[in-house]
Chain A
Amino acid sequence: MSTSTEKTSTFLRRFRAVVAIALIVSGAWYVYANPDHTFKLGLDLAGGSHLIYEADTSSINPVEVPELMNVLRDVIERRVNIFGVSEPIVQVESSSFVTEEQTHRLVVELPGVTDVSEAVAEIGRTPLLEFKLLDQEKLLEQNTLDSVASLVGSTSTTSGAIIGDVKVNGETIDTSVEINPYIDTGLTGRYLEAATLEFAGSGSGQLANEPLVTVRFTAEGATLFADITRSNVGEQLGIFLDGELISAPRINEAITGGTATISGGFTAEEARELAQNLSFGALPLPIELVSTQTIGASLGAEVLQKGITAGIYGIVFVLLFMVLWYRIPGLIAGLALASYIVIMLTLFQYIPVTLTAAGLAGFIISLGMAVDANVLVFERMKEEWRSGTSSRLAAEIGFKRAWSAIRDGNITSLLSAIILFWFGTSMVKGFALVFGLGVVVSMFTAIVVTRTFLVALPDTPSNRKGLWTTLLGSGLSK
Chain B
Amino acid sequence: MFAITYRKIFLIIAAAIFVGSAVIIGVFGLRLGIDFTGGSLTEVAYSVAPEKVVIEAAVTEFNLGGFSVRESEDDAGRSAFLIRTRDLGEDERAVLADAITNLGEGGEVTRFTSIGPVIGEELKDKAVWAIGGVVMIIVFYVAFAFAGIGVPVSSWVYGLVTIIVLIHDVLVPTALVSLLGYFVGIEVDILFVMAILAVLGYSVNDTIVIFDRVRENLVKNRTEHRKKVVEPGGVEHEEVTYTLTAPYEKIVGSAVAESMARSINTSLTTMVALVALYFVGGEVTQTFALVLFAGVAAGAYSSICIASPLIVAYAEWKAKREVTKS
* A-to-B contact residues, CB < 8 Å: 44, 52, 54, 95-96, 98-99, 103, 116-117, 120, 289-296, 298-299, 302-303, 306-307, 309-311, 313-314, 317-318, 321-322, 325, 357-358, 360-362, 364-365, 367-369, 371-372, 375-376, 379, 383, 401, 404-405, 408-413, 415-417, 419-420, 422-425, 427-428, 431, 435, 475
Q: Please, which residues of chain A bring their CB within 8 A of the CB of B119?
A: 52, 290-291
Q: Are B93 and A303 in contact (CB under 8 A)?
A: no
Q: Are B262 and A423 in contact (CB under 8 A)?
A: no
Tell me what chain A mostly uses at the interface: helix, strand, loop, or mixed: helix
A300 to chain B: closest residue by CB: B75
Q: Please, which residues of chain B bring their CB within 8 A of the CB of A293?
A: 111-114
Interface residues of B in 189-242 (CB under 8 A from A): 190-191, 193-194, 197-198, 200-202, 204-205, 208-209, 212-213, 215-216
Q: Are B112 and A116 in contact (CB under 8 A)?
A: yes
Q: Please, which residues of chain A bring their CB within 8 A of the CB of B277?
A: 310, 314, 361, 364-365
Q: Please, which residues of chain B bring their CB within 8 A of the CB of A371?
A: 266, 269
Interchain CA distance A372-B267 in the complex, whole Å: 9
If A98-B126, A307-B282, A409-B209 are given as contacts, then 5 extra A-B residue pairs at C-beta distance below 8 Å, sorted by A number, are A120-B90, A299-B74, A306-B280, A309-B281, A475-B261
A interface footprint on B113-139 (CB within 8 Å = 1, 0 otherwise): 111101100110110011001100110
Interchain CA distance A260-B307 in the complex, whole Å: 78
Interface residues of B in 267-314 (CB under 8 A from A): 268-277, 279-282, 284-285, 288-289, 292
Select which of B112, B205, B272 is within 8 A of A294 by beta carbon: B112
Number of chain B residues whose Cβ lies closer than 8 Å to a Cβ of chain A: 74
Contact A417/B126 with A367-B273, A372-B266, A409-B209 known, Cβ cut-off 8 Å: no
Q: Are A361 and B197 in contact (CB under 8 A)?
A: no
Q: Is B57 an interface residue (CB 8 A)?
A: no
Q: Please, which residues of chain A bring their CB within 8 A of the CB of B212?
A: 404-405, 408
Nearest 10 Cβ contacts at the A-B interface:
A368-B270, A310-B281, A290-B116, A302-B75, A314-B273, A313-B276, A416-B201, A368-B273, A409-B205, A405-B212
Q: Please, which residues of chain B bring their CB within 8 A of the CB of A360?
A: 281, 285
Q: Is B110 an interface residue (CB 8 A)?
A: yes
B118 to chain A: closest residue by CB: A290
Interchain CA distance A312-B90 in the complex, whole Å: 40
Q: Are A361 and B289 in contact (CB under 8 A)?
A: yes
Q: Are B288 and A358 in contact (CB under 8 A)?
A: yes
Q: Are A376 and B282 in contact (CB under 8 A)?
A: no
Interchain CA distance A360-B284 in the complex, whole Å: 11
A interface footprint on B84-120 (CB within 8 Å = 1, 0 otherwise): 0001011001100000000000001111111110110
Tell me what chain B mostly uses at the interface: helix, strand, loop, or mixed: helix
Q: Is B265 an interface residue (CB 8 A)?
A: yes
Contact A424/B126 with A379-B261, A431-B194 known, Cβ cut-off 8 Å: yes
Q: Are A98 and B125 in contact (CB under 8 A)?
A: yes
Specify which of B111, B193, B275 lies most central, judged by the most chain A CB atoms within 10 Å of its CB: B111
Q: Are B191 and A412 in contact (CB under 8 A)?
A: no
Interchain CA distance A424-B273 in the complex, whole Å: 25
Q: Are B274 and A416 in contact (CB under 8 A)?
A: no
* B-to-A contact residues, CB < 8 Å: 74-76, 87, 89-90, 93-94, 108-116, 118-119, 122-123, 125-126, 129-130, 133-134, 137-138, 141-142, 145, 190-191, 193-194, 197-198, 200-202, 204-205, 208-209, 212-213, 215-216, 258-259, 261-262, 265-266, 268-277, 279-282, 284-285, 288-289, 292
Q: Please, which residues of chain A bring their CB within 8 A of the CB of B118?
A: 54, 103, 290
Contact A321/B190 with A299-B74, A409-B208 known, Cβ cut-off 8 Å: no
Contact A294/B209 with A317-B275, A321-B272, A357-B285 known, Cβ cut-off 8 Å: no
Q: Are B111 and A420 in contact (CB under 8 A)?
A: no
Q: Are B129 and A307 in contact (CB under 8 A)?
A: no
Select which of A98, A317, A357, A408 is within 8 A of B208 by beta carbon: A408
